Amino acid sequence: MSAFFGPLQADGRVPPRQQTRVAAFLVSAHGALARQFAVALPARFDAAWQTELNAQFYRESEIVSLLVRATAWVPDLALGPMAASWEMAWLPAPIEGIADHARAQTIHLATLAHAVHAGIRPAALLPTEANANDPFVMALRRIEFESGRLLQAQILFLKGPDLLPFRDAISATLERRHAEVRRLWHETLAGVGVGLRE
Amino acid sequence: MPFLSHGSYRIRYELDGPANAPAYVLVNGLTQYSELWGTYRDTLIARRFRVATFDLLGQGVSDKPALFIDQDDHIAVLHRLIGELGDGPVFLSGISFGGLIALRYAIEHGARLSGLVPMSCFSELSPQLLLIGNALRTGLILGGTGYLQDLLLPMNLSDQWLKPLLDKLDSVKRQGWLVNDVYALQNLMESFLDFKPLTPQLSSISVPTMILNGEFDFLTPRALHETLRVEIPDSALVIIPRAYHAFTLEKAALTADLLARFAEDVLAGRWQGNKQVLIAPEDAGGDFSPFPAGYDHLRAIPVQRPAT
């Protein structure tokens, strides 16, 4: 099993079955983040940091829109149950050591976003000979690049002074989130012949 | 591929060469990965050394903590790796970020070492280095690993090295880009946000120490290495001609030879640091030259040192 997409089509495009499976996963993950940021967005802002919530919501929505249009979709019967398991995974889970519900919700969203933005590198799956003019290839590069920038809000929040007293709980929750997202991502890729190191 | 454990994390390492031979442990720079020591492995094994390389926590194939890496983690990992080497002589060398880890190790566990080789290194953040470091971190945040590489390549390598590769730089950068994640590199860089100068503790390093500095290194210029030379008692500063910060990559054959010669001299009782300033040969196997007497090695033009 290769660590990259392929074998590529004659014109250097990623096979549609691989495009479909990977795009479905990314739409599910970034779509969940868009929905959760939308819920977290107040109608009126009263703090400067809330402007970042607005940016995160629109960037996540942009990623979903981009994938919907750039992917060469093909029917994939396995997607139904897979998508259900993905959607379940994005739901909030209790955070040990954090009793305050509102704070726990915020930490859940930040850790999920961190795991998706940091742990999922779709452009790293592209072999060197991938067609740079293909919209799917361009979309994956853009998503990975934007994820690196979006991630900064999560890093600032999770490493920030407000959460310093909860450092161990935050670290443990984040590592669990990373492991879970990584497992789902690897399973998704393995189903279309792409194998990443555990 | 063997792994060490550090808490719940796994550290990828490699041990090559005869098991009962004196060992060299090589510590990566920030964006490095252990395969880049290939020439050193071959050269040092051919000179009857054992060679240990590893990916730092947060780097390459080692685990990447999601949020926090402390400098203490690097020292603990290094200590564990050196513990794998048995009781024989151990020489420790590191480049840049890895040089700093090697310095800290020598301060805290110097008794376990037979020799130390900090390369392109520093013991404190000068204003220039602090600001450059901050700018590199911002570059990583805004532009990703690829942009950080774009900044580091021309800063740290010579025109002679870069020119034949200009039309294939993407392939030069690709492996480093693949194995290094933005968040993990950022965590590594941020493990230095609470950096405390090591200069006051350098005098406690009692092992023979060869400090290597590229002639044209402007990321960590001569003055930063001079602090090491002045403070470490049994040290010598060796200037690598026509070299920039990443001379371990550009002049691997020469540097590997210098490492081997240093360890051979120490083991044979020939090493004399004397806080000398030497100029390395241009090529492996050549002779060292003393820096011309009376001239100031901290200047880029031949200025005579004031009489003392």
SS (H, E, C) chain A: CECCCCCCCCCCCCCHHHHHHHHHHHHHHHHHHHHHHHHHCCCCCCCCCHHHHHHHHHHHHHHHHHHHHHCCCCCCCCHHHHHHHHHHHCCCCCCCCCCCHHHHHHHHHHHHHHHHHHHCCHHHHCCCCCCCCCHHHHHHHHHHHHHHHHHHHHHHHHCCHHHHHHHHHHHHHHHHHHHHHHHHHHHHHHCCCECCCC
**Chain A residues 61-100 with a CB less than 8 Å from chain B:** none
For residue A4, the chain B residues in CB contact (below 8 A) are none
Report the gap between the CA of A171 and the closest CA in chain B (Å).
7
Are B67 and A148 inside 8 Å of each other by CB?
A: no
pLDDT at residue B1 in the model: 84
**Distance, C-alpha A167 to centroid of its chain:** 23
Average pLDDT over residues A136-148: 97
**How much is the pLDDT for A99?**
86
Supply the pTM of this predicted model. 0.93
Identify the residue among A117, A178, A196 best suited for mutation to test binding to B, counting B beta carbons within 10 A and taking the highest. Answer: A178
- The mean pLDDT value of chain A amounts to 95
Interhelix angle B182-190/B127-156, nearest 10 degrees: 140
Please indicate whether residue B165 or residue B307 has the higher confidence score (pLDDT). Answer: B165
Q: Any chain A CB within 8 A of the CB of B172?
A: no
Going by C-alpha positions, the residue among A33, A26, A24 that lies closest to residue A154 is A33
- Tell me which residue in A128, A148, A170 faces B182 most closely, judged by beta carbons: A148
* Cα–Cα distance for residue pair A77/A85, rounded to 1 Å: 14
CB-CB under 8 Å, A159 with B65: no
Quick check: A189 and A196 in contact, CB under 8 A? Answer: yes
Decide if A178 contacts A119 (C-beta within 8 A). yes
Question: Is residue B308 scored above 70 in pLDDT?
Answer: no
The beta-carbon neighbor of A155 closest among B144, B178, B186 is B186
Locate B17 and state its tokens: 């060469």
In this predicted structure, which of A133-142, B119-128, B184-193, B278-287 has the lowest mean pLDDT?
A: B184-193
Helical spans, DSSP H, in chain B: 38-46, 71-83, 97-109, 127-156, 159-162, 169-179, 182-190, 222-231, 247-250, 252-267
b (16+ CB within 10 A) / e for B262-298: bbeebeeeebebeeebbbbbeebeeeeeeeeeeeebe
Is the pLDDT at A198 greater than 70? The verdict is no
For residue A93, is pLDDT > 90? no
Q: What is the pLDDT of residues A29-81, one digit of tens each?
A: 999 999 999 999 999 999 898 899 999 999 999 999 999 999 999 999 999 99
Chain B interface, best mutation among A149, A168, A198, by max B CB count within 10 A:
A149
Q: Is B182 on the interface with A (CB under 8 A)?
A: yes
A42-46, A122-126, B112-116 — which is least confidently predicted?
A42-46
pLDDT tens, position by position, B75-96: 999 999 999 999 999 999 999 9
Cα separation, B12 vs B53, in Å, equals 9
Q: Which residues of B touch A178 (CB under 8 A)?
A: 66
C-alpha dist (Å) from residue B48 to B228, B240, B271: 29, 24, 19
Q: How confident is the model at residue A176 (pLDDT cuts 50, 70, 90)?
A: very high
Quick one: how far is CA A121 from the chain centroid?
9
Closest chain B C-alpha to A118 CA, distance in angstroms: 6
Which two tokens mark A101? 């519900």
Share of chain B above pLDDT 70, in %: 100
Q: Does B60 touch chain A (CB under 8 A)?
A: no
Note whether A124 contacts B178, CB cutoff 8 Å.
yes
pLDDT band at A20 (very low <50, low <70, confident <90, very high): very high
> Average pLDDT, whole number, for chain B?
95
CB within 8 Å: B68 and A149: no
Q: What share of chain A in percent tops pLDDT 90? A: 87
For chain B, say whether A183 makes contact (Cβ under 8 Å). no
Across the range B179-195, mean pLDDT stands at 89
For chains A and B, count residue pairs whose Cβ atoms are closer than 8 Å. Answer: 47
CB-based contact B67 A128, cutoff 8 Å? no
Q: Mean pLDDT over residues B191-206, rounded?
A: 92
By DSSP bridging, strand B235-240 and strand B276-279 are: parallel
Average pLDDT rounded to a whole number, residues B105-111 = 98
pLDDT digits (tens, 9 = 90+) for B28-37: 999 899 999 9
Quickly tell me which residue has 């853009």 as its tokens: A142
